[in-house]
Structure formats: structure tokens, C-alpha cells
Amino acid sequence: MKRTFKNQLQNSRFINFLTTDTSKNKNWNDSISLNILIYIVSLPSIIINLMYSKFHNLFDSSYFIKFFKFIGSNLHYCIGLSIIFISIIPDHIWSNLYGVVLIMLITILYYLNKGLSENPKLELKKLDYSLVIFFATLFIAGLTSVFLRESLNQLIFYIATFVFITIIILEVDSEKKLYDLIKFIVLSAVLTSIYGLYQWQIVGIAVNPSLTDLTINQNLGARVFSSFGNPNVYGEFLVLSIPFFFPLIFKANNMMQKVILTISSLPVLLMLFKTGSRSAWVAFAVCIFIFVFLWNKKYIPVLIILGLLAIPFLPSSIYNRLMTIFNPNDTSLKYRQMIMGPALVMLRDYWITGVGLGSKTVALIYQRYKSFGLTTVAHTHNLFIQLWLEAGILSILSFIMFMFRLAKNSYVKVSKFSNSKQSLIISAALASTLGILVMGLADYVWFYNRIFLMFWINISIVLSALNLKQG
């Protein structure tokens, strides 16, 4: 019976499909469309390279060019510093324009460095074709929006994000660069947790009734939001960043580094609990489960047992807060239910094309459905419904296809190079990404553009790791 079952699994087309790396697609790599795209995108660096080849004696003696070559050879550090900048700027002074300008500067540096190199062409074959298709659907949705002006700002930020993650995928081409980049993400989390501690213990945070139902959460207290202006958004950031502590701790060079990293993670974990975000707690639990599953499946039963044993030791405020998920009187749950009714009616009318990019566009159309429920909302509190409403059926399908390919190829890579730095980084990045998607069932996690950018930075880390030849 064992041999028969084993043979059935080995000969199963479905099992073979799930366990085969499909990150390299020959049809995509050899397509005329991709080669044309490579030429168009590489044109600035090709022009710079032609100028450099013609006047290389003059350029090589220039301290200005030497400086740019030095910056270009360490561009992943600039990317890491950008992530810190994006994370720590307080919400009340943050502008999406900062992110766009920062990405423009990094893009200029990348093109200059590429133009001064021997090969000025961009290796766009490293991009997954389903990723390109998804962002193409967002581009189309932005240009065909019912309210074009409201969608243009969002479209510009989405284009900037795509450019940024493309540069990360092309630039981070070694395990060392990959490892350095996640150090910056961890440092960002630590810095925001220090700011959160400052808010909580020194400045003090007033309890906001609009964020917490005080009738059923009397003991929760103030909710920390750090530099993100909203505790739920800060919870989303922490879900995206905390898992990167694991590969750093597991692969630290010595015990002292392990201790320092572990101690550094404690205030970050404390801030996760102090956000009071139930969906972030659930998402983080999913992150832990997925990471352990990818790292070593044998520890799954131990993880479940430890989780069950930890329940009685949870602080009463956290335990009671978690139990409100099942409380039908919770105002946030009622609010989400009221939103979803009109949103589904709206989806029936716009399911093919969507209404256009941006929550403002959706909110403007939503007002026409006031007879079905609420008259105004910021968003639908569901990532997948919101994406479908904004960009239509092709967008949501291409996103699901991309995430499926990402998860499958990551699993194949991790299984092949078990417990290497590369596999641990993939496991952490994929765990945080899938965890935030679980959170997306109860929150529109792309509402704040900084979280949207961090989400795709995590994706770019996975794709960069998948492109590395050795584990």
C-alpha cells in the first residue's frame, strides 16, 4: 500500500506541478514583447553608456563619476536607508510625494551606475511575467478611471512602486546584498518600536473611541501607532517586518549577536501587542505558522501545543480583545458588515472593469449606493474586494495568479536549499506577505501607500532570492 501510494504521488501531474520551479518561463524570456520592453526601459542607460564609451578618459578622471560609481556599487544600502526613511517619518508630516521623489533619486542612481557598467541593458527577465501583468492591469485601471483626476495620484505612486521593486530585484543579486537589505527592515522596525515606547511611556496616548469599542474593551487602554498615525496600520507594518528577525537570529555569526537581535525584537513584539490590532495578531500567528512550516515541518505540532499552552498566560486585556472577534455586538464588526452590503451591490455593476484606482474613486461611486447602507466610507475593509472594485476582474485574477506562483516557487526553492540563509529569507518574506494577506480579509491593507510599498518590497525580496543561483 505504501509503495502504491508513493508511486501515485510521484506520477501525479498535479503534485509534479506543485513541486516544480516555474519561476523561469521560456516563453516569457524569449518573447518579442519582453525584448522590446527591455530595449525601451534600458534606453537611458544605453545612452549614458554610449557617452561614457566615447569620453571614458574624461569621465574616469572625474571625481564626480568616481563618486557615482561608488554609490552605484553600494546602491542596496541606499535602498535600505530609503526603507528606514519611509518607515520612521511621522504620519502627520509624511507625504506620498516623499516616496515618489526618493524612488526617482534611486532610479537616477541606478541608471547612472548601469550606464557606467559594461552591460547597460536591464535584466527584466528576472521579473515574473504575472507580476508585470498585474501592474499592467493597475495601469489600465488608472487610465480608464471613472474619475481620472482622483486616480492619477494613485497611479503615479503605483508606477513608482513598480519601478522601485524592479530596481530591488535587479540590484540585489547576491546573498550578502539580500541579507544586508533585511537588516535595514529590521532596523526600521526597532526604530519605530522605540518611537512607540516614547509615545506610550513618556508622551502618553489618549484612548480614541473611534478606534476602540470601549463598551467591550474597557481594559485595553491606549493603542500605540508610532510613526504611522493609526494602530492598525502600524500593526500591518510590524507583521511585514517582524519575521525578518528569524533569519538574522538563526544565522547570526555568534551567540552575542543572537542575544542582541533577540533583545532587539522584544520591544517590537511588545509594540505589536500594544497596537491592539486583532487582525494583526491573527496575521502574525499565521506568519509564525507559515515560517515554521517552510523552515521545518516537524516543529508544527510543537508550535500548536505551545500556542495552546500560552493562552492561559495571556494578559487579560489581550485575551478579552481577541475574544471580541466573536462578539456580534462589536461596533467595528458591525461597521464592516454595513460596508460590505453596498460594496457587493457595487461590485455587481463594476465587476468587469472596476471604477478606477484609489479609495477616493471607490468612495465617490459608493455614494450612489446609499440606499443600500452607509453613504460614505473610506474603503471596503477588504483588500480583495477593494482591488476588484478598483481595477476589475483581470486585476484580481492576475494578482491571485501571481501570489500562487510566488508561493509555489518559494516552497520549491526552500525545499531544495533547506535552512540556508537564502531559504530562511524567502520563508520570512513569504510568511509576512501571506500573513498580511490574511489581515487583508478584514482590512484594506493597501489603503496607506507606505504599507503598499512595504508589501511590494517584501515581494521583491522573495523574487530576488528566487533569482539567486545558489542557496
Task: Grade residue 340 by pLDDT with cuts at 50, 70 and 90.
Answer: confident
Is the distance from CB of 88 to CB of 195 less than 8 angstroms? yes
Question: Residue 12 falls within a domain, yes or no?
Answer: no
Least confident of 74-78, 161-165, 317-321, 440-444: 317-321
Q: What percent of the chain has pLDDT over 90?
A: 52
Residues 6+ apart with CB under 8 A from 309: none
Question: Residue 186 falls within a domain, yes or no?
Answer: no
Q: SS3 letters for the chain?
A: CHHHHHHHHHCCHHHHHHCCCCCCCHHHHCCHHHHHHHHHHHHHHHHHHHHHHHCHHHHHCCHHHHHHHHHHHCHHHHHHHHHHHHHHCCHHHCCHHHHHHHHHHHHHHHHHHHHCCCCCCCCHHHCCHHHHHHHHHHHHHHHCCCCHHHHHHHHHHHHHHHHHHHHHHHHCCCHHHHHHHHHHHHHHHHHHHHHHHHHHHHHCCCCCCCCCCCCCCCCCCCCCCHHHCCHHHHHHHHHHHHHHHHHHHHCCCCHHHHHHHHHHHHHHHHHHHHCCCHHHHHHHHHHHHHHHHHHCHHHHHHHHHHHHHHHHHCCHHHHHHHHHHHCCCCHHHHHHHHHHHHHHHHHHHHCCCCCCCCHHHHHHHHHHHHHHCCCCCCCCCCHHHHHHHHHCHHHHHHHHHHHHHHHHHHHHHHHHCCCCHHHHHHHHHHHHHHHHHHHCCCCCCCCCHHHHHHHHHHHHHHHHHHHCCCC
pLDDT, greater one: 215 or 115: 115
Cα separation, 1 vs 7, whole angstroms: 10
User: To which residue does cell 510568511 refer?
Assistant: 431
Tell me the per-residue pLDDT of 218-268, one tens digit each, with 9 for 90 and over. Answer: 566 678 999 998 999 999 999 999 999 999 999 888 999 999 999 999 999
* Distance linking the first and last C-alpha atoms of the chain: 36
Tell me the per-residue pLDDT of 361-394, one tens digit each, with 9 for 90 and over. Answer: 988 888 887 665 555 677 888 999 999 999 999 9
Task: Grade residue 178 by pLDDT with cuts at 50, 70 and 90.
Answer: very high
Number of domains in the chain: 1
Question: Residue 411 falls within a domain, yes or no?
Answer: yes
**pLDDT at residue 202 above 70?**
yes
Please provide the average confidence, as pLDDT, over all residues in the chain: 87
pLDDT of residue 471: 47
Looking at the chain, how many residues does it have? 471
What pTM did the predictor assign?
0.91
pLDDT of residue 294: 92
Tell me the per-residue pLDDT of 407-452, one tens digit each, with 9 for 90 and over. Answer: 999 999 898 877 788 999 999 999 999 999 999 998 999 999 999 9
C-alpha cell at 318: 489581550
Question: Residue 328 falls within a domain, yes or no?
Answer: yes
Question: Residue 429 falls within a domain, yes or no?
Answer: yes
Nearest residue to 139 (alpha-carbon basis) of 117, 164, 157, 119: 157
pLDDT, greater one: 24 or 82: 82
pLDDT of residue 369: 79
Question: Residue 25 falls within a domain, yes or no?
Answer: no
**pLDDT at residue 186 above 60?**
yes
Mean pLDDT calculated for residue range 276-285: 91
C-alpha cell at 187: 532596523
Taking residue 364's Cβ as centre, other Cβ atoms within 10 Å add up to: 16
Question: Residue 62 falls within a domain, yes or no?
Answer: no
Cα separation, 421 vs 295, whole angstroms: 11
**pLDDT at residue 359 above 80?**
yes
Amino acid in position 359: S
pLDDT of residue 470: 62
* For the ranges 118-132, 313-327, 442-456, the one whose mean pLDDT is highest: 442-456
Question: Residue 132 falls within a domain, yes or no?
Answer: yes
Least confident of 223-237, 259-273, 330-344, 456-470: 330-344
Cα separation, 154 vs 149, whole angstroms: 10
pLDDT, greater one: 331 or 200: 200
Task: Grade residue 157 by pLDDT with cuts at 50, 70 and 90.
Answer: very high
Give the CA count within 13 Å in the CB-facing half-sphere of 128: 29
Is the distance from CB of 222 to CB of 197 less than 8 angstroms? no
pLDDT of residue 418: 73
Residue range of the domain that includes 403: 127-157+199-471
